[in-house]
Amino acid sequence: MDKFTVLTGVAAPLPMINVDTDMIIPKQFLKTIKRTGLGKHLFDEMRYTADGQEIPDFVLNKPAYRKASILVAGDNFGCGSSREHAPWALADYGIRCIIAPSFADIFYNNCFKNGILPIKLPKEQVDLLLDDASRGSNAVITVDLEKQTITGPDGGTISFDLDPFRRHCLLNGLDDIGLTMQQSGQIDGYEGRQRAAQPWMWA
């Protein structure tokens, strides 16, 4: 998993509440178990017409936001089913940070496992960032995980809180497998002892 330290990028405004995981990645794209290739289907039913044409008014189809890496959204983002394909699609598109007043719990946890930083802020502060994000290609903000700050286009700074363990994992690019592999020495030692004590188990 890629480390998350400092991210500077265009922030796309999506001031919708209750954006569920089926809106993020519709059910017909859940057949794959690969984490790549889903970005083109992110928000599929909002981005495209039934015959596959882009809907110009959708934020990620606007020229200024096509390479957005930050999403500023409304309350209860990621609600609905627990599909991990939702953060997969966001990450594959290039979204590394989502800022919202609140998130659905399972989606929130899945973000950390896939290198995405979800930041919870009071609605008043999210509204300020939505205003910043409305500036199109000038909507560049910086998210510094080390300092736990968000800096807007005009230099104003907002601080955010994050669980220290989750912060450590993102800063070091550690998903569940990475955390486990940090204990590889102890795992190898245990397996060695087990091989010696119960060799038939390893035949």
pLDDT tens for each residue of 45-69:
999 999 999 999 999 999 999 999 9
Q: pLDDT value at position 33?
A: 85
Compute the distance between CA of residue 162 and CA of residue 109 in angstroms, rounded to an integer: 12
- Write the pLDDT tens digit of every residue in 113-153: 999 999 999 999 999 999 999 988 789 999 999 999 999 99
Query: Is 195 among the domain residues?
Result: no
Query: Is 1 among the domain residues?
Result: no
Query: Is 153 among the domain residues?
Result: yes
Query: Is 128 among the domain residues?
Result: yes
Host domain of residue 30: 6-172
Query: Is 95 among the domain residues?
Result: yes
Query: Is 192 among the domain residues?
Result: no
Residue 185 banded pLDDT, cuts 50, 70, 90? confident
Compute the distance between CA of residue 47 and CA of residue 30 in angstroms, rounded to an integer: 18
Number of structural domains the chain divides into: 1
The token pair at 108 is 């929130």
**What is the sign of the dihedral through the CA atoms of 120, 124, 125 and 126?**
positive
The token pair at 141 is 């903000």
* pTM beyond 0.75, yes or no: yes
**Whether the Cβ atoms of residue 132 and residue 153 lie closer than 8 Å to each other:** yes
- Residue among 101, 103, 100, 72 nearest 86 (CA): 103
Query: Is 138 among the domain residues?
Result: yes
